[in-house]
Amino acid sequence: MTDVAPTTDERTDLDLVARWKAGEQRAATLLVERHASALARFLASIGARADVDEVVQDTFVRAFASIDGFRGDSSLRTWLFTIARRLVLDRRRAVRRRGEQVEVQETDVATEYDALDGVVAEETRARMQQAMAALTPTQREVFVLRVSEGMSYREIAEAVDTTEGAARVHYHNAMRAIKEFLDD
Amino acid sequence: MTDCGYGNVRDALPDYLNDRLDTAHRREVESHLAGCDACREELSLLRTLHVTMRRAPAVNVDAIAAAIPAYRAPVRRGWATPWRVAAAIVALAAGGTSIALLRSHASVQREDVSPYVTATRTREPGPAPQVVAPSTRAAEVPARPAPRSATIQPAPTRELAIASGSIGDLSDAELAALVDDIESLEATPAAEVESAEPLSVGAQEGT
């Protein structure tokens, strides 16, 4: 039941990478259009609210600069998430060295999900935001990648530098914590 | 909200939600959902969370794309880069110097060979090195020959033997001298000059 059908998206990504390497700069733009929003969602979910745009740009610049190191073992999107996450961690370390406070506040996470255009009722949305904010940082990372991006546990493990088994445990713990929060 | 005991189905709900299951698995999940309230509730919750999380902060796609430089293929260098050529020259020079030093050292060792003891190294097991007893040396062994042509030959074995006579025939002084010579043999470097033929050393000085 854990098998995931191969997507044409991954083949399209590889095709676009090949076209960019062949000199078609427009292919790079198409890749940014395909993945920038997902990266921004993920970065917001892990508390990189203030500089999402900057981190997304750095992620793409680094990824394209080292594209020959991309072996295709995972999808391009997973690789981009891995780079983005490392950039956020590097920035947090740099901030810590400067002695600044970098703890992710609950409001940082919650305010990223504003203005849902009425798709979800306001009260329900607020409860969901609070439930997500109550998760640990790792649970939140894993849960967002699993539910919002539809990543497999293998892809999540690669993106957040953990094991498949640990990713599965984090997901189910997050799901249980959200249910308990909403049942209270 | 209770959990369903079918862990595999619950595990696949995010994949179902994101349309990442193949046809067979999708049908299996849908079949289970038709009869399981707990999984339907969980899927509903996941849908709500999915919508909540899908809202992304705005990013400037054009600016990001403009920051990406054109592709530059990695430069592949051939073997003969300047530093590699220089390293090869240094290695060859060091090797030649080492060989010259070894030959020089071996020549000195050959001149120091004891009149009592000779060591032979050959590729094939050959005559053993000989220790010649002083009492029989004069009769059996000719005078020390003129300088011999020496060769360096790696040898598998090195043996020491009494050429003739008996140790019991040696005087105390001769025996002590022989022991000294044997001890000096142990300090002989591994690479040393060997004669083409076993050396037979003539009379000891003073005897």
**Closest A-chain CA to B13:** A147
Per-residue pLDDT of B38-90, as tens digits, reads: 999 999 999 999 988 887 788 899 999 999 989 988 776 656 666 676 777 78
ipTM of this model?
A: 0.77
pLDDT at B147 over 90: no
pLDDT at B105 over 90: no
What is the rounded average pLDDT of the residues B128-155?
49
Structure-model confidence comparison of residues B171 and B72, the more confident one: B72
| Residue of B52, B61, B63 lying closest to A125 (CB–CB) | B52
**Closest B-chain CA to A142:** B14
* Residue B160, pLDDT score: 46
**CA A136 to mean position of chain CA atoms:** 15
**What 3-state class would DSSP assign to B150?**
strand
Residue type, A64: F
Identify from B17, B21, B53 which residue to disrupt to test chain A contact, counting A C-beta atoms within 10 A and taking the largest count.
Answer: B53
CA dihedral A99, A104, A105, A106 (to 10 degrees): -170
Q: Note the pTM of the prediction, 2 decimals.
A: 0.58
* Residue A101, pLDDT score: 57
* Residue A11, pLDDT score: 77
What is the rounded average pLDDT of the residues B88-109?
73
pLDDT at B139 over 90: no
Per-residue pLDDT of A125-145, as tens digits, reads: 788 888 998 999 999 999 999
* Residue B138, pLDDT score: 45
Identity of the highest mean pLDDT range in A134-138, B91-95, B162-166: A134-138
Residue A37 C-alpha, separation from nearest chain B C-alpha, in angstroms = 6
Per-residue pLDDT of A83-125, as tens digits, reads: 999 999 898 888 888 776 555 544 444 444 444 445 556 778 7
CA dihedral A26, A29, A34, A39 (to 10 degrees): 160
CB pairs under 8 A between A and B: 144
Structure-model confidence comparison of residues A46 and B192, the more confident one: A46
Per-residue pLDDT of A17-32, as tens digits, reads: 999 999 999 999 999 9
The chain-wide mean pLDDT, for chain B, equals 68
